[in-house]
Amino acid sequence: MWIAKLRIRHDDCIIGSRTRKFNITSIGVPIDKFDKGKFSYFYHFETLYGKEDDVNKFINDLKKDKTVTKLERTGNTVFFLVQIPIKHKIPTTHYTKETFWLKPVVVDEQGYEYWEIGSWKREVLNQFIGDLQKERYELKINKISNEKINQIYFPQIMPFLSKQQKQALELAYKRGYYDYPRQVELRDLAKELKISLSTFREHLRRAEKKIMPDLIRNVRDD
């Protein structure tokens, strides 16, 4: 299986332009597209990560975008439909049925998109990358390799966490609580959120307890 790891940025990206503007990150699962009349329609399913106020600003700004024809929100996840003229090209315009996504697309705070796609044929990936290079995108090819697939993403239904549980888990991960050696202690995280150590510990433990069964069921050996 041929695998390409790419980094892309383009100024008119509906997601990347806003992750830069509001200093958040997004993880999206590409779903599908269709053409109708003079327009192409792209489905977006994005989960946003950052300060709650910044996430709200991102979504409110997205609602004002005239290319967004439908939008639904659940927490920090948004599902929306984008309409653009068929003649207008965006990176996913060049995606074909002979390629497939190995992982969700991550868009960081600088607006860079990280793609990992695969195909049985090297020439299909070459054509896909060549089409991207013809456009005015900032494109970096991090890696193209022929290897066995051992890290393909399968979407899973994950449990809902309370706002406090999710906040505790995200902060612990971001600050290096799960690193080895550990970069921060729970008392420091509790102080950052301005809550007691016992309260922070309870939120974190409850979050871990909820997500652990799914992690154990889906984790794989090397």
More confident site: 10 or 150: 10
Which distant-in-sequence residues (6+ apart) come within 8 Å of 37 by Cβ?
none
pLDDT in tens, 14-27: 999 999 999 999 99
Same domain flag for 8 and 66: yes
How much is the pLDDT for 60?
Answer: 96
CA dist., res. 51 & res. 81, Å (int): 24
Same domain flag for 99 and 74: yes
Q: For residue 31, what are the domain limits?
A: 2-146
Is residue 116 within 8 A of residue 3, CB to CB? The reply is yes
Q: Does residue 152 lie within any of the structural domains?
A: no
More confident site: 159 or 122: 122
Give me the sign of the Cα torsion angle 202, 207, 210, 213. Answer: negative
What does each C-alpha distance from 103 to 23, 43, 45, 125 come to in angstroms? Answer: 22, 17, 14, 16
Same domain flag for 28 and 130: yes
Which distant-in-sequence residues (6+ apart) come within 8 Å of 107 by Cβ?
13, 15, 16, 19, 25, 26, 27, 28, 113, 114
Q: Which segments within the chain are labelled E, that is strand? A: 2-9, 25-28, 33-36, 39-49, 68-74, 77-85, 100-101, 105-107, 113-119, 138-146
How much is the pLDDT for 155?
Answer: 54
Output the six-digit token pair for 17.
Answer: 């332009």
Output the six-digit token pair for 220.
Answer: 């794989």
Helices (H), 121-219: 122-134, 163-174, 186-193, 197-218
Same domain flag for 103 and 186: no
188, pLDDT greater than 90: yes
Same domain flag for 104 and 16: yes
Q: Which of 146, 174, 209 is the last residue of a domain?
A: 146
**Least reliable range by pLDDT among 66-80, 117-131, 137-151:** 137-151
Number of structural domains the chain divides into? 2
Report field, pTM of the whole predicted structure over 0.85: no
Same domain flag for 71 and 172: no
pLDDT in tens, 67-112: 999 999 988 889 999 999 988 888 888 878 898 888 889 999 999 9
The single-letter code of the amino acid at 96 is T
220, pLDDT greater than 70: no
Helical (H) or strand (E) element with 61:
helix 52-63
Q: Does residue 50 lie within any of the structural domains?
A: yes
Q: Does residue 156 lie within any of the structural domains?
A: no
**Least reliable range by pLDDT among 60-69, 155-164, 187-196:** 155-164
156, pLDDT greater than 60: no
Same domain flag for 109 and 137: yes
Q: Does residue 56 lie within any of the structural domains?
A: yes
Same domain flag for 102 and 167: no
